[in-house]
């Protein structure tokens, strides 16, 4: 019952925010992106390590990378270390309805990244909400029904896992010539 109420409220809040949402669209590539935003679910160490390798690839190309991680819980995992470019949104910022809020989130959403990647490979509202409402110029996510209206490039995978997503992401971004 609480889940149905939560989903209903999340839907209303998202639709309201979406009406106010405007962004400039512009394609970007692995080599051309100077600013990269990453949204991810911080739920397991193996996935987080895969995301960190993608962050390093963008940084090696000269991009400034900022990460907004979502963690469903109060105590950060021991393997997760917050740095200046990595912020964690936990239960405190999500609240009962699991709608992300807070100063760090507002700052992240207002940035016009050249590229934004939603590294969430499962359907959770908070990472989707953050990525969909970002003002990024070029947005990438996994190909799902809900993502189709809010992202510019969707990656379809035979096996849905973080490593395959990262490999496909890097491959397709490398193929784009700008």
What confidence score (pLDDT) does residue 67 get? 97
Give domain limits for the chain: 2-175
CATH class of 2-175: alpha beta
Report the pLDDT averaged over residues 82-108. Answer: 89
What confidence score (pLDDT) does residue 164 get? 95
What confidence score (pLDDT) does residue 83 get? 85
**Whole-prediction pTM value?**
0.93
Res. 178: pLDDT tops 80: no
The Cα–Cα gap between 26 and 23 comes to: 10
User: Which residue spans within the chain are E strands per DSSP?
Assistant: 35-41, 64-70, 86-89, 115-118, 139-142, 153-155
Task: Give per-residue pLDDT as tens, 15-66.
Answer: 999 888 889 999 999 999 999 999 999 999 999 999 999 999 999 999 999 9
């Amino acid at each position: 019952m609480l889940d149905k109420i939560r989903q209903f409220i999340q839907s209303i809040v998202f639709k309201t925010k979406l009406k106010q949402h405007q962004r400039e669209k512009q394609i970007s590539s692995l080599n051309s992106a100077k600013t990269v935003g990453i949204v991810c679910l911080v739920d397991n160490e193996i996935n987080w390590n895969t995301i960190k390798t993608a962050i390093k690839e963008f940084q090696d190309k000269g991009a400034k990378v900022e990460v907004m991680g979502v963690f469903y819980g109060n105590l950060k995992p021991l393997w997760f270390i917050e740095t200046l470019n990595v912020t964690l949104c936990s239960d405190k910022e999500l609240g009962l309805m699991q709608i992300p809020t807070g100063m760090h989130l507002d700052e992240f959403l207002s940035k016009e990244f050249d590229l934004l990647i939603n590294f969430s490979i499962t359907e959770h509202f908070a990472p989707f909400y953050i990525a969909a409402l970002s003002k990024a110029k070029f947005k990438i996510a996994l190909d799902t029904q809900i993502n189709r209206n809010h992202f510019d490039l969707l990656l379809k995978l035979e096996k849905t896992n973080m490593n395959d997503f990262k490999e496909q992401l890097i491959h397709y971004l490398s193929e784009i010539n700008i």
